[in-house]
Structure 1
Amino acid sequence: MQTQNWLLKQASLKPNTPAVITEKQSLTFAQLAKLAAKKAGQIAQLTQKRRVGLLGDNSLTTYVLALALLFSKKTIVWLNFRLSTTELLAQVNDSQLDLCLVTDELWRSEFTEPFFPYSKLEASKAPAKELMETVELEAIASIMYTSGTTGQAKGVLQSFGNHFYSAVASALNLGLSANDQWLCAVPLFHISGFSILMRGLIYGMTVRLVRRFEPRSVETILVSEPITIISAVPYMLQELLKQHVTPYNPKFRLVLLGGSSAPKELLLASKKAQLNVVQCYGMTETCSQVVALSSEYALAKLGSVGKPLFTTQVKLAPTTNELLLKSPALVSGYLNHPELFAKKLEAGWYHTGDVAHFDQDGFLYIDGRLDEMLVSGGENIFPQEIEQCYRKLPEIAEIIVVGRPDPIWGEVPVAFVRGQKLAQAALRTYGEKYLTHYKIPKEFIWVKDFPKTASGKVKRYLLRGSFLNE
Structure 2
Amino acid sequence: MTPCSTRTMNLGHLLDQTARRLPDNPAMIWGDARWTWARMRARVDAMARLLARDHGIGKGDRVLVQSANNNQMWESLWACLKLGAIWVPANFRGSPDDLRWMAELSQPKLLICEAEFPDHAAICGLPTLAIGKTDFGPDIETLLSVQDDTPLRAVDVDRDDPAWLFFTSGSTGRPKAAVLTHGQMGFVIANHLADLIPGTTEDDASLVVAPLSHGAGIHQMLQVARGVPTILPNGPFDPAEIWRLVAQYRVSNMFTVPTIVKLLTEHPAVDHHDHSSLRHVIYAGAPMYRVDQVRALEKLGPVLVQYFGLGEVTGCITVLPARLHDAADGWALQGSCGYPRTGIQIEIQDETGQPLPAGQTGELCVTGGAVFAGYWNDPGANAKAFRDGWFRTGDLGHMDQRGFFYLTGRESDMFISGGSNIHPREIEEKLLLHPEVAECAVIGMPDPTWGEVGVAICVTRAGTRPDLAAWLGPRIARYKLPRRILFWDGLPKSGYGKITKKLVREELIRREGLTENG
Q: Indicate whether the TM-score tops 0.5.
A: yes
Give yes or no for the alignment of 1:263 onto 2:286.
no
Residue 278 of structure 2: which of 252, 258, 268 is its match? 252
Distance 1:109 1:284, change over 3 A: closer
In 2, Cα distance between the equivalents of 1:220 and 1:407? 54
Give yes or no for the alignment of 1:97 onto 2:75.
no
Give yes or no for the alignment of 1:145 onto 2:156.
no
Q: Deviations over 1:413-467 (max 9, x none)?
A: 22344554748xx433222111111101122345566565433434255368734
Residue 53 of structure 1: which of 61, 64, 67 is its match? 64
Secondary structure of the residue aligned to 1:156 is strand
Distance 1:285 1:125, change over 3 A: closer
In 2, Cα distance between the equivalents of 1:104 and 1:247? 34
Structure 1 stretch displaced more, 257-266 or 58-67 = 257-266
Give yes or no for the alignment of 1:124 onto 2:125.
no
Q: Aligned-pair distance for 1:328?
A: 0.8
Distance 1:22 1:289, change over 3 A: farther
In 1, Cα distance between the equivalents of 2:437 and 2:276? 38
| Counterpart for residue 410 of structure 2 | 369
In 2, Cα distance between the equivalents of 1:249 and 1:53? 37
| Counterpart for residue 183 of structure 2 | 161
Distance 1:415 1:56, change over 3 A: same
| Counterpart for residue 309 of structure 1 | 341
Secondary structure of the residue aligned to 1:351 is strand
Secondary structure of the residue aligned to 2:160 is coil
Note the 1:190-201 alignment, pairs <5 A. 190=214, 192-201=215-224
In 2, Cα distance between the equivalents of 1:172 and 1:97? 34
In 2, Cα distance between the equivalents of 1:467 and 1:384? 24
Secondary structure of the residue aligned to 1:108 is helix
Q: Aligned-pair distance for 1:353?
A: 0.7
- 8 Å contact from structure 1 (residues 182, 230) kept in 2: yes
Q: Percent identity?
A: 25
Q: Deviations over 1:302-340 (max 9, x none)?
A: 221111111211110136511111121111111110321
Q: Aligned-pair distance for 1:166?
A: 1.3
Q: Deviations over 1:227-279 (max 9, x none)?
A: 22111222322333332235636643121122322233333333333431112
In 1, Cα distance between the equivalents of 2:262 and 2:175? 29
| Counterpart for residue 35 of structure 1 | 43
In 2, Cα distance between the equivalents of 1:446 and 1:249? 35
Structure 1 stretch displaced more, 174-183 or 122-131 = 122-131
| Counterpart for residue 3 of structure 1 | 9
- 8 Å contact from structure 1 (residues 196, 207) kept in 2: no
Q: Deviations over 1:23-81 (max 9, x none)?
A: 22222222211111111122221344700111112111111122111211211111111
- 8 Å contact from structure 2 (residues 208, 254) kept in 1: yes
Pairwise CA RMSD of aligned residues?
2.7
Q: Aligned-pair distance for 1:194?
A: 1.0
What letter matches 2:219 in structure 1? Answer: I
Q: What's the TM-score, normalizing by structure 2? A: 0.82
Gap regions ≥5 residues in structure 2: 1-6, 133-137, 352-360
| Counterpart for residue 85 of structure 2 | 74
Note the 1:194-233 alignment, pairs <5 A. 194-211=217-234, 212-233=236-257
Q: Aligned-pair distance for 1:375?
A: 1.8
Note the 1:256-295 alignment, pairs <5 A. 256-275=282-301, 276-295=303-322
Number of residue pairs matched? 467
In 2, Cα distance between the equivalents of 1:251 and 1:415? 39
- 8 Å contact from structure 1 (residues 59, 210) kept in 2: no
- 8 Å contact from structure 1 (residues 148, 453) kept in 2: no
- 8 Å contact from structure 1 (residues 41, 126) kept in 2: no
Q: What's the TM-score, normalizing by structure 1? A: 0.90
Secondary structure of the residue aligned to 1:313 is strand
- 8 Å contact from structure 1 (residues 256, 279) kept in 2: yes
